[in-house]
Amino acid sequence: MRTTRLLALFAATAATVPLAACGGDDAGSDASSSGKITVAASDTECTVASAQSDAGTVTFDIANKGNKVTEFYVYAPGDRVMGEVENIAPGLSRELIVELAAGTYETACKPGMIGKGIRNAFQVSGSAAPLTEDAKLAQATKDYQRYVKSQTGALIEQTTAFVNAVKGGDIEKAKTLFPIARTYWERIEPVAESFGDLDPKIDAREADLAPGEKWTGFHKIEKDLWVAKDVSKSGPAADQLLVDVRTIVDKANTVTLSPVQLANGSKGLLDEVATGKITGEEDAFSHTDLWDFAANVEGSQAAIAALRPALEEKDAALVKTLDDRFAAVEAALEKHRDGDGWKLHNTLSQADLKTLSDEINALSEPISKVAALVAGK
Amino acid sequence: MQRRKVIGLAGAGVVGAATAGAVAWRATGGEAEPAAPAPDRISFYGERQAGIVTPAQDRLHFVAFDVITKDRAALIDMLQSWTAAAARMAQGKEAGALGAVGGLPEAPPEDTGEALGLPAADLTLTVGFGPSLFDNRFGLRARKPAALADLPKFPGDTLDPALSGGDICVQACANDPQVAVHAIRNLARIGMGVVSVRWSQLGFGRTSSTSTSQATPRNLFGFKDGTANLKAEETALLDDHLWVRAGDGPDWMTGGSYMVTRKIRMLIEPWDRTSLLEQETIFGRDKGEGAPLTGKGEFDEPDFAARGDDDEPVIATTAHVRLAHPTQNGGARMLRRGYNFVDGSDGLGRLDAGLFFISYQRDPHRQFVPVQMNLARRDQLNEYIRHVSSGIFACPPGLRAADDFWGRSLFA
């Protein structure tokens, strides 16, 4: 989500639109009411035409009237994403169709695609039976599937833009786009990792290779950009990257992760941070590890958010702890923000890294308890 | 969090039977301490903390933590969880009631498992609180004992701040290194989010005897040092020199003791090239027996007035045994409990080795400080050693029963 204004250049021309699909059960009777709810987004304001709606399908029509790329979210309590539209370029409009049960929500515009965004309360009324525990878990997997879909849409867009920059020989632009494309990849990496050899094809580091193995993917091109400073021969690698990303996206959108897999995924993403990002091993040439760090944490939080209704019932104190510790990680990371992005890993001191490591440990321990909780024995 | 609750329960009901589902893999009964502890177990409860006058075990894992939470209640909660886990591990049990393999398959094991099948190995866990804990974070400023003031800088100190100090320390001693490491590892894990490891040190061989039943071991220079150590059997001396008395300072420390740690790197290779004569002159003892140069047996009192044929003192004025001796330091005694360490080799191929010095005393500023100042100024041994890490900690009295916990009187 940590993108720059540059995105506007290609978001407008991107072929696909990452529309958040509707979730929910087959409550597909008729929509709440006649009209769409318009949202006027600017760089400083987020005007939602109505602050309430009936339960059921709700459609928002978001117009970006600002100068920055924006995003629009509908959150349930605890920042559980009910629906989102990413990458709304200045001057464009997008629709978000979302299934909402009765309850209290928040809407958010995120000009510049950073931070908590401009929030508004949103009330949904009507009668909807509370979900049973099993239904809440089933809902969790659907919610997460929706998240994966939105992320994979953006992943293809951003990887396409990155690949085009590489093939066009625009090294500076490619360097700018590299951590942004990786953001969408890192958020859903547990899903990607379930597809065996595709993950290494896309994300292998030079040190991962056995003698004689061919090196492909993001990090190969990273080395071309930052070390060789020559992408004249990188075209085939770039094309292959896009092919592999498209393949994995197709597969990712067909899998459903079980609640236990979601829980393990949320832990796995933090393990990625602890083992690869804090050490600076992930992006050894570009040192853009903090983009990946932030994305891993966001992905972990998305998985927990999907499980939240079920967790609230089983152990509300744990949910509170997770909220506090996610917030602490965000606050620690925020100290290293640089504009719309992040400082380079090699500019952080050992003390900075120790603080980040402590916060990730503090979060990972309680998160490691979630899987057994949702396994429900 | 679930883990902490389980541990809390276990701690609160230590006399009850093990929680259902627990795997009693070492002990066969409940969690109460047996009336007569098994030969390889040291009682965790008592008037004093274990691990001070306990006959020095062979192995050490020492750790200093920084407290990273600002939440006083979270810190107290963790100290309670630590105490319950420590009480279990001192009995040779796993850190939590569900243990290494007794929990849900989807959950990470409560205990890390590397001590499964090992005996208790005389494990002791001793806690101490550093000066930095008494800043404003937890409202403890008024409870800081004067004796816990930071140590002064000693001449020649080359301390690494990253290896020094700490808010809380735990000294784990055992006769099996894996048992000591297991204990520290599990406490560090329980403390995630509340404390963070600042530095730690492994020691592989004791350098002190803390009981008359033990022979004096040798340090890595090959010498017996600390012959005049305080020993467990000398109860009157311990009351004078080791244990904090009522009126010495704040009540919460009465019955406790102050710990000083110094990591002393030894410059092994130059030492090994030094003649036997010079080595013995530097220590003031003979290398074989450990006898003072004025005597025949290890425990002969050194005669600092004795002069040789050349009219020079037999025990040099700069000899280690003279400078460290109580008679030369206004009667200051300490209980030393140090360990030899080898942290592999340094980048130049030299042994990265030395002494992890630990001493306990009633007031470090009247005992350790004058002795160390004396040594730092004049000891010939300084040519072969470097002090690289330093710590001072207040170790409260022992825990009376299972409803007591580390720091209870401090946080009361």
Closest CB to B1: pick one of A318, A358, A362: A318
The domain total for chain A is 2
Residue A186 lies in a domain: yes
| Chain-centre distance for alpha carbon A356 | 20
Q: Is B2 in Cβ contact with A371 (below 8 Å)?
A: no
Whole-structure pTM value:
0.79
B304, two tokens: 């600092």
Residues A326, A190 share a domain: yes
CA distance B110 to B6: 10
User: Which 8-state DSSP code applies to residue B218?
Assistant: B
3-state helix, strand, coil in chain A (%, to 5): 50, 15, 30
Give the domain extent around A119.
7-129
Burial A53-68 (b: 16+ CB within 10 A, else e): bebbbbbbbbbbebeb
Is-contact A268 A258, C-beta < 8 A? no
Q: What mean pLDDT comes out for the span A284-300?
A: 96
Closest CB to A375: pick one of B1, B106, B194: B106
Beta carbons within 8 Å of B209's beta carbon, 6+ residues apart: B55, B56, B215, B216, B217, B226, B229, B231
Residues A118, A184 share a domain: no
Task: Name the minimum distance, in Å, from the CA of A341 to any CA of chain B.
Answer: 27
- Condensed to tens digits (0 to 9), the pLDDT of residues A77-136 reads 777 777 788 888 888 888 888 878 888 899 999 888 777 788 889 999 886 555 667 788
Domain closes at, from A105, A129, A153: A129
Q: What mean pLDDT comes out for the span B337-351?
A: 95
Q: Is A366 in Cβ contact with B196 (below 8 Å)?
A: no
pLDDT at B30: 35
pLDDT at B235: 94
Residues A156, A114 share a domain: no
Q: What mean pLDDT comes out for the span A18-38?
A: 46
Residue A124 lies in a domain: yes
Higher pLDDT, B330 or B12: B330
Residues A113, A261 share a domain: no
Number of Cβ within a 10 Å radius of residue A198: 18
By CB neighbour count within 10 A (0-12 exposed, 13-18 middle, 19+ buried), where does B93 fall?
buried
Residues of B in contact with A258 (CB under 8 A): none
Which residue bears the tokens 């978000």?
Answer: A96
Closest CB to B193: pick one of A315, A317, A365: A365
pLDDT band at A23 (very low <50, low <70, confident <90, very high): very low
Closest CB to A372: pick one of B107, B189, B192: B107
Amino acid at site A136: K
Determine which of A74-78, A286-290, B58-62, B345-349 has the lowest per-residue pLDDT on average.
Answer: A74-78
Nearest-by-CA chain A residue for B107 = A372
Q: What mean pLDDT comes out for the span A216-236?
A: 97
Closest CB to A369: pick one of B1, B68, B189: B1
B386, two tokens: 């470097």
Task: Name the minimum distance, in Å, from the CA of B346 to any CA of chain A.
Answer: 21
pLDDT band at B16 (very low <50, low <70, confident <90, very high): very low
B290 Ramachandran zone, left/alpha/beta (phi>0; psi -120 to 50):
left
| C-alpha atoms less than 13 angstroms from C-alpha of B324 in its C-beta half-sphere | 20
Nearest-by-CA chain B residue for A375 = B106
Q: Is B103 in Cβ contact with A372 (below 8 Å)?
A: yes
Is-contact A85 A59, C-beta < 8 A? no
Residues of B in contact with A363 (CB under 8 A): 193
> Taking the C-alpha atoms of B315, B318, B322 and B327 in order, what is their torsion angle to the nearest 10 degrees?
120
pLDDT at B28: 32
Nearest-by-CA chain A residue for B194 = A362
Return the bridge partners of B351, or none.
B345
Residues of A in contact with B103 (CB under 8 A): 372
| Chain-centre distance for alpha carbon A96 | 17
Angle, vertex CA A33, rays to CA A32 and CA A35, nearest 5: 125
Burial B33-51 (b: 16+ CB within 10 A, else e): beeeeeeebbebbeebbbb
Domain closes at, from A103, A129, A155: A129
- Condensed to tens digits (0 to 9), the pLDDT of residues B275-327 reads 999 999 999 999 999 999 999 999 999 999 999 999 999 999 999 999 999 99
A49, two tokens: 């035409």
Q: Is A260 in Cβ contact with B106 (below 8 Å)?
A: yes
Beta carbons within 8 Å of A367's beta carbon, 6+ residues apart: A263, A266, A267, A270, A300, A304, A322
Residues A309, A164 share a domain: yes
Residues A206, A149 share a domain: yes
pLDDT band at B32 (very low <50, low <70, confident <90, very high): low
Residues A333, A194 share a domain: yes
Higher pLDDT, A132 or B337: B337
A225, two tokens: 């950009």
> Taking the C-alpha atoms of B91, B94, B97 and B100 in order, what is their torsion angle to the nearest 10 degrees?
-160
Return the bridge partners of A121, or none.
A106
Burial A254-266 (b: 16+ CB within 10 A, else e): eeebebbbbbbbb
Q: What mean pLDDT comes out for the span A362-371?
A: 93
Kindly state whether B112 is in contact with chain A, defined as any CB-CB distance less than 8 angstroms.
no
CA distance B359 to B262: 9
Q: Is A365 in Cβ contact with B192 (below 8 Å)?
A: yes
Task: Name the minimum distance, in Å, from the CA of B198 to any CA of chain A.
Answer: 10
Q: Is A325 in Cβ contact with B193 (below 8 Å)?
A: yes
Residues A160, A284 share a domain: yes
Q: Is A361 in Cβ contact with B193 (below 8 Å)?
A: yes
**CATH number for the domain that contains residue A31:** 2.60.40.420
**CATH number for the domain that contains residue A200:** 1.20.1420.20
Domain closes at, from A96, A129, A162: A129
Helix (H, G, I), strand (E, B) or coil at A227: helix
Residue A242 lies in a domain: yes
Residue A2 lies in a domain: no
Q: What mean pLDDT comes out for the span A309-333?
A: 94
Counted across chains A and B, CB pairs separated by less than 8 A come out at 45
Q: Is B3 in Cβ contact with A354 (below 8 Å)?
A: no
pLDDT at A129: 55
Q: How do A93-100 and A80-88 pair as beta strands?
A: unpaired
CA distance A138 to B330: 76
Residues of A in contact with B194 (CB under 8 A): 362
pLDDT at A275: 87
Q: What mean pLDDT comes out for the span B191-201?
A: 97
Residues A307, A243 share a domain: yes
Residues A262, A234 share a domain: yes
Mutate to test the interface with B, among A349, A361, A368, A374 (most CBs of B within 10 A): A361
Determine which of B15-24, B191-200, B379-388 has the lowest per-residue pLDDT on average.
Answer: B15-24
What DSSP line would sit under B179-191, residue for residue? HHHHHHHHHHHHT
Residues of A in contact with B104 (CB under 8 A): 372, 375, 377
Residue A137 lies in a domain: no
Q: A207 φ, ψ to 5°? A: -70, -15
Residues A148, A125 share a domain: no
**Percent of chain B whose pLDDT exceeds 90:** 85
Residues of B in contact with A372 (CB under 8 A): 2, 103-104, 106-107
Nearest-by-CA chain B residue for A324 = B193
Residues A176, A260 share a domain: yes
Closest CB to B2: pick one of A325, A369, A377: A369
Residue A1 lies in a domain: no
Residue A229 lies in a domain: yes
CA distance A267 to A265: 5
Task: Name the minimum distance, in Å, from the CA of A289 to any CA of chain B.
Answer: 23
Average pLDDT across chain B, whole number = 90
Residue A245 lies in a domain: yes
